[in-house]
Structure 1
Amino acid sequence: MLIETRSVTSKVLQAHASQWRVSERGVALVVVMLFLIAITGIGLWTARQSILAEGMARNQTDQAVAWQAAEAALRDAERDFMTAYSAAASNASCSRGKVALNPNDFSQECKKGLCTFPDASYATASWTAASGTTSEPWWPGGKSGLWNDKASTKPGRTPVDTNNCDSFTGGVPLGTYTGTAAITGVARQPEYMIEYFRRKNVRMNLVETQVSGQGSNPNEWGAMYRITARGFGYSERTQVVLQTIFMP
């Protein structure tokens, strides 16, 4: 009788052990699945961060290219103003037809990139209500500005094209009058616009602590120019606008 009891007990223990082994195998599967899900999630997060970092680096590079293109356009505008040619310079698309610019060359239509507006027009400038009377000339066309984004109405640079030299308005493509080589790799060549202002002469007073018109000939009018340049990156959607005051 004792032997039979032991036999039954042994069989019961074996059955329980078998169930435990099955249960253990089930828990192990769940643990392994959780580890796989965690590792997959970490891998996806890492890949996403890498793609994000790459995109940020690309955007920064694109922004830097657009900035440098705008800087090149600023310098080109100064060369255009200071070294006008009566005949087209080497590799230039057009010629100003004179050796020096003067205020009479500037117009309210910004013909050939040369603009002049009444001071009262600047006083009414408003981004929120931009219209023909409340905009500045360097603003985009969508804000009633006169930049003119239609490349087909301007002289060509890649390749050099002399069409529209006498009729175009708005921004001047890089090298149009100076012959500066086109920038490679950008979505569009940078452009510039020059505005003319009349201002009373000012000078530093004797102790040089403030700007004053109390000097010799304080009522004489002087010329001041504002250059606005717009550069483009590898994408035309990436743009940088720079301005400088130019007093030759």
Structure 2
Amino acid sequence: MFRPSQPSSGHAEGGVALPVVLMFLLVITILGTLGIRRATTGETLSRNQLDYEVARQATEAALRDAERDLRLDVSAIMPNALCARGTDRPAQGSALASPAFDTNCPRGQCRFELSYYDSSNYTTVTNPEPWWPTINAKQGRWDGDPASAASPKPGDATGVNTNCTFNGSVPLGTFTGVARIAGVARQPEYLIEYLARSDDKVMRITARGFGADINTEVVMQTYFRPYLR
């Protein structure tokens, strides 16, 4: 006698193993990618912070170098210095009234009337102060005389240039003989502004330094009284 077959008691296979495995692979890939990106970002931040510290220390070195410059004996030529100050300023202990300080910042020495500073406006580029960033030819004295091509300076590029009649900022060690800093994109430099209010004669020093990347730049200022009446 023919008997109809009984239905199987087993559960039918749904075929879900492959999608589950693929989903796990996708999650693992995403987590791995995020981990690599996080590690790369952390390394970049650490490198940027290190470069900033290099630029900051280079700037501080330029500030100290400017103070040494202001203490120089005018008749002395420092060992390893590329240039001598000569008669740029009077001897120590005398009143400062040297014509070597003017608006062109010869050899890093700037002097403007106080009324000039009172009317300075960065937004409208009115009466640009010498330490302003050099955005165009009308601003800043970092790259030489803005009325002409930038003045080559001692220590620029290869360090063999011995032009000592430049306008604008002073590269590190030009007058003091301090050793150049290794591992920076450009040597730190400084400007000295002569500020006189009645009998109070003060120098404002502005320095800027760079890290290994030329785009990492730090600017600092300090005030200094080198001369006593």
1:106 offset after TM fit, Å? 0.7
How far, CA to CA, are the matches of 1:116 and 1:169 in structure 2?
A: 13
Per the alignment, residue 141 of structure 2 pairs with: 147
C-alpha spacing 1:28/1:115, structure 2 compared with 1 (3 Å): same
Q: 1:226: which partner in 2?
A: 204
2:128 is the counterpart of 1:135: yes
Letter of the aligned partner of 1:140 in structure 2?
P
Aligned CA RMSD, in angstroms, stands at 2.1
- The within-5 A match list for 1:157-236 is 159-166=158-165, 168-200=166-198, 221-236=199-214
* 1:240 and 2:218 are equivalent in the alignment: yes
Distance 1:50 1:100 in 2: 57
Q: Structure 1 residues 13, 49: CA separation in 2 closer, same or farther (over 3 Å shift)?
A: same
Choose which of 49, 58, 67 in structure 1 pairs with 2:38. Answer: 49
Q: Equivalent residue for 1:97?
A: 86
Segments of structure 1 that go 5 or more residues without pairing to the other structure are 201-220
Mapped contact 2:151–2:167 kept (Cα < 8 A):
no
User: Is the 8 Å Cα contact of residues 131 and 142 (structure 2) preserved in structure 1?
Assistant: no
Q: Aligned AA for 1:188?
A: R
Matches within 5 A, 1:112-123: 112-123=107-118
Render the CA deviation track for 1:142-187: whole Å, top value 9, x for unaligned: 2633323267611126654353202x11110000000000000000
- 1:58 is paired with a residue of what secondary structure? helix
Give the secondary-structure state (helix, strand or coil) at the position aligned to 1:29.
helix
Does the CA-based 8 Å contact 2:152-2:161 persist in structure 1?
A: no
Higher relative contact order, structure no. (Cα contacts within 8 Å, ≥ 6 residues apart): 2
Letter in 1 for 2:160: D
Note the 1:25-40 alignment, pairs <5 A. 26-40=15-29
Match of 1:207 in 2: none
For the 8 Å contact 1:139–1:146, the answer to whether it is kept is yes
Amino acid at match of 1:77: A
Richer in helix (by share)? 1
Change (3 A) 1:95 1:156: same
Q: Is the 8 A contact 2:209 2:218 kept in 1?
A: yes
TM normalised by structure 1 equals 0.79
- Identity %, equivalent residues: 46
- Consecutive aligned runs of 4 or more in structure 1 exceeding 6 Å deviation: none
Does the 8 Å contact 1:66/1:240 carry over to 2?
Answer: yes
Q: TM-score, normalised by structure 2?
A: 0.86
Amino acid at match of 1:172: V
In structure 2, the gaps of 5 or more residues are: 145-149
Bigger CA radius of gyration: 1
